[in-house]
């Protein structure tokens, strides 16, 4: 009579490789996000991220390659989630109001999801600061901004054109330029207004910012629309 061999049961604590890999990558991305947000791109190294993440630098290189690729992975991670919320908000506003909406309401639909994501927690606030940094950068950073955010930006400009069909497209591009500058600078949480106002106004007060920014920007865009063309502007008296 043959003795029965005991079947080896899989350990309850043993997890699939894919699950462990995903956990390691998330850990690295979370800590890299915090490092890039606080120290900037130039002040962050693979070694500094590895140290705070508690992993070997070789593992980071295996997953992400060099620092540039790690930064790109950080930037691409949350962008699609924010964009999906913004596209839903713009679509909902368009469906509800059609061509009868207001510029303030349209801008609110564009910027509010970004601020609401930033209010979810530290990781999202770190990402917001990185977006602000990238939007003011050139080169590869510029390409990343276009890759992740151009689609939703063009949807906004198209919606602005529907609300303001007689306004030249050039004017709307200028309006978007000033809007995205104010928007991403506000996401940066620089603390400058905190110091100037002695704490009366805080750059981290995203709720306060999003309640005011659409009104401010919409007024500026309307003022741009009322400007005469350069050839029609009166010359200064001598």
Rounded CA separation 80/68 (Å): 19
CATH number at residue 121: 1.10.357.10
pLDDT score recorded for residue 238: 47
Q: Tell me the average pLDDT across 203-229.
A: 91
Where does residue 115 rank: exposed (0-12), middle (13-18), buried (19+ CB within 10 A)?
Answer: buried
Averaged confidence pLDDT in the chain: 89
pTM of the model: 0.84
Q: Is-contact 176 156, C-beta < 8 A?
A: yes
Query: How confident is residue 17, by pLDDT bands cut at 50, 70 and 90?
Result: confident
Residue 181 lies in a domain: yes
CA 97 from centre of chain = 26
- Among 31, 65, 99, the domain-final residue is 65
Residues 148 and 217 in one domain: yes
Residue 237 lies in a domain: no
pLDDT score recorded for residue 156: 97
pLDDT at 230 over 90: no
Residue that wins the pLDDT comparison between 228 and 110: 110
Residues 114 and 214 in one domain: yes
pLDDT score recorded for residue 141: 83
Domain total in the chain: 2
Residues 95 and 156 in one domain: yes
pLDDT score recorded for residue 18: 80
Residues 96 and 195 in one domain: yes
CATH number at residue 41: 1.10.10.60
What the block records as the tokens of 28 is 């690295």
Residues 91 and 196 in one domain: yes
Q: Tell me the average pLDDT across 62-85.
A: 95
Residues 51 and 86 in one domain: no
Residues 126 and 210 in one domain: yes
What pLDDT digit, counting tens, does each position of 86-135 carry?
999 999 999 999 889 999 999 999 999 999 999 999 999 999 999 999 99
Residue 61 lies in a domain: yes
pLDDT at 143 over 80: yes
Residue 166 lies in a domain: yes
pLDDT at 79 over 90: yes
Residues 138 and 56 in one domain: no
pLDDT score recorded for residue 231: 54
What the block records as the tokens of 210 is 């999003």
Pick from 147, 123, 121, 124: nearest CA to 134? 147
Residue 3 lies in a domain: no
Domain range for residue 191?
75-230
């Amino acid at each position: 009579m043959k003795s029965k061999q005991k079947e080896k049961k899989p350990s309850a604590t043993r997890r699939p490789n894919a699950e462990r890999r995903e956990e390691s990558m998330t850990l690295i991305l979370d800590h890299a996000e915090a490092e890039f947000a606080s120290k900037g791109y130039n002040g962050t190294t693979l070694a500094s991220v590895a140290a705070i993440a508690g992993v070997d630098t070789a593992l980071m290189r295996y997953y992400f390659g060099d620092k540039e690729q790690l930064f790109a992975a950080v930037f691409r991670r949350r962008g699609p989630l924010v964009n999906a919320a913004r596209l839903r908000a713009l679509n909902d506003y368009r469906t509800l109001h059609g061509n009868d909406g207001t510029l303030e309401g349209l801008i609110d639909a564009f910027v509010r999801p970004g601020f609401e994501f930033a209010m979810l927690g530290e990781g999202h606030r770190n990402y917001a600061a990185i977006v602000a940094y990238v939007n003011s950068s050139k080169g590869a950073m510029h390409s990343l901004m276009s890759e992740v955010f151009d689609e939703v930006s063009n949807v906004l400009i198209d919606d602005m054109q529907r609300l303001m069909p007689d306004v030249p497209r050039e004017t709307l591009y200028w309006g978007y330029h000033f809007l995205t500058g104010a928007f991403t600078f506000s996401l940066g949480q620089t603390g400058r207004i905190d110091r100037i106002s002695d704490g009366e106004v805080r750059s981290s007060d995203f709720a306060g910012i999003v309640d005011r920014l659409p009104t401010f920007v919409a007024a500026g865009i309307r003022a741009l629309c009322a400007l005469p063309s350069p050839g029609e502007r009166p010359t200064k008296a001598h």
